[in-house]
Structure 1
Amino acid sequence: MKWINSLTNYKSTYYIYKLNSNDSIIIFNRYYHQKKLIIILYGSLYIVKIFDNKRIIPITILAKDDVFNNTDNTNEFYYKLTALEKTYILNIELNNKEIYTQIDDKLLNNLFNSYLNTINTYQSINAVIKQKHLNRKIAHILLLLFLKFGIINNGQIHIPFKLSQKNLALIIGISEESISKTIKQIHDKWYIKSYKKQLIEIKDLFSFTLK
């Protein structure tokens, strides 16, 4: 509620959207000429960039209080944001160029911290994508997901939402077939279970190594 309470004091248009798991929204400058600032109020989603030739590039994963700002002025691609679980997003239209000079220091500080978190996640995702070894690439994205979303209980850690092979493949930019094959290979090594139910859990947290 901190975002909504702060924005009610300023002359900016905003909307709140609910996305169920696997729901998507499209941000395309060909149709939306106004700049948009998206803040995750609750939940999680991932973002990919899709070009006219159908090429897909993974961008990042967003969680609560993370932000996304479409600053690109091109019609060659669009952004697709897909929810990994029930997610609420705050969509702010930045039609007022002076909005950042009108808001108070507390809100500016919140925005700054949210941008930092988003940048850190983007850099982590980028490092995963650049990883050439397939097993390590998938291990790194799982580790990132555990660090960002994982719930620890009695030495076990699990991600509290369903994650399909399709979504995992899009997040790191590889094929579903590669995901399926590699998961089977590392299943016993890292004690990953319940993957067939689209849930990821490691039975022994300390067994998760990248040797």
Structure 2
Amino acid sequence: MSSKWKQIFSESEIPFYIYKLNKGDSLIFQYQAKYQPLIIVFYGTVYIMKIFTNSEAIFLAILTNKSIIDFNFFDSNYVYYKVVALENTYLIKFFWLDYIAHCKYLSTSIKLLDLFRYTLRQYESSSYILMHKSIRYRVVQLLLLLCKDFGILNNNYVLIPFELSQKTISYITGSNPITVNKIVNFLIKRLFIKYIVKNKIIICYFSFFSYLRNSKIT
């Protein structure tokens, strides 16, 4: 797996670490004021959950390549953060102090700033999912986001190109698998989507987007 960021860090002699997550794998991070790590998603797709000491979990964002995870904003000792791969994903982890001490080129800092800007847009898009009180609307909004950002267009449908189990959908939308199963079955019966159980792949038909427009869900 090649990456321009690996090359940039190597040329600048900035210490870094590379993680490979297979789909379904996860990493746990907790705030550490002393080290201040940053993580660049340079290939793949992940989602981030904020988990409290009472085991309550809140979905934060779906991030893809060209995104950056900045744990300096997550300044609490009472929570931890779980990064889960939706597909095979590669991450680069480095530390602010190492970056400041070794970075030689202004262009590198500009590229890093571009990552922050792109990531903010992804957080904003992800926030629309939890804006809805209705779990059905949350599920629909999630599918819409995935179709828009990752979907593969075909003749009369859009394919979401990675596994999306109903357990994952329930985790992201703050629901339970039973409720999600009912919602998915509703969408299937209305011929809005097709859920391939064996591969956990979702196909969204064009009628699904007409439903969104007419229902003013978006």
Deviation at 1:139, TM superposition (A): 1.0
Alignment-derived partner of residue 152 in structure 1 = 153
- Residues in 2 aligned to 1:103 and 1:76: alpha-carbon distance in whole angstroms: 37
Q: Are the aligned partners of 1:28 and 1:77 in contact in 2 as well (CA < 8 Å)?
A: yes
- Residues in 2 aligned to 1:14 and 1:160: alpha-carbon distance in whole angstroms: 30
- Residues in 1 aligned to 2:194 and 2:54: alpha-carbon distance in whole angstroms: 37
- Residues in 1 aligned to 2:179 and 2:141: alpha-carbon distance in whole angstroms: 15
What is the correspondence of 1:1-211 to structure 2 with a 5 Å cutoff? 1-29=3-31, 33-71=34-72, 72-96=74-98, 98=100, 102-197=103-198, 198-202=200-204, 204-205=205-206, 207-208=208-209, 209-210=211-212, 211=215
Deviation at 1:77, TM superposition (A): 0.5
Instruction: Give 3-state SS (helix, strand or coil) of 2:97's partner.
Output: coil
CA, structure 1 residues 123+103, in 2 after alignment: closer, same or farther (shift >3 Å)? farther
Percent identity of equivalent pairs: 31
Instruction: Give 3-state SS (helix, strand or coil) of 1:39's partner.
Output: strand
Q: Are the aligned partners of 1:12 and 1:94 in contact in 2 as well (CA < 8 Å)?
A: no
Structure with greater proportional helix content: 2
Instruction: Give 3-state SS (helix, strand or coil) of 2:127's partner.
Output: helix
Instruction: Give 3-state SS (helix, strand or coil) of 2:98's partner.
Output: coil
1:2-36: CA deviation from partner (whole Å, max 9, x where unpaired):
11111113242211111111111111136x84111
Instruction: Give 3-state SS (helix, strand or coil) of 1:67's partner.
Output: strand
Amino acid at match of 2:125: S
Amino acid at match of 1:14: F
- Residues in 2 aligned to 1:76 and 1:149: alpha-carbon distance in whole angstroms: 33
Q: Are the aligned partners of 1:169 and 1:175 in contact in 2 as well (CA < 8 Å)?
A: yes
Instruction: Give 3-state SS (helix, strand or coil) of 1:82's partner.
Output: strand
Deviation at 1:200, TM superposition (A): 0.6
Moved over 3 A (4+): none
TM-score by length of 2: 0.87
- Residues in 2 aligned to 1:201 and 1:29: alpha-carbon distance in whole angstroms: 38
Gapped regions of structure 1 (runs ≥ 5)? none
Gapped regions of structure 2 (runs ≥ 5)? none
Q: Are the aligned partners of 2:193 and 2:208 in contact in 1 as well (CA < 8 Å)?
A: no
1:52-76: CA deviation from partner (whole Å, max 9, x where unpaired):
1111011111111111010133210
CA RMSD of aligned residues (A): 2.0
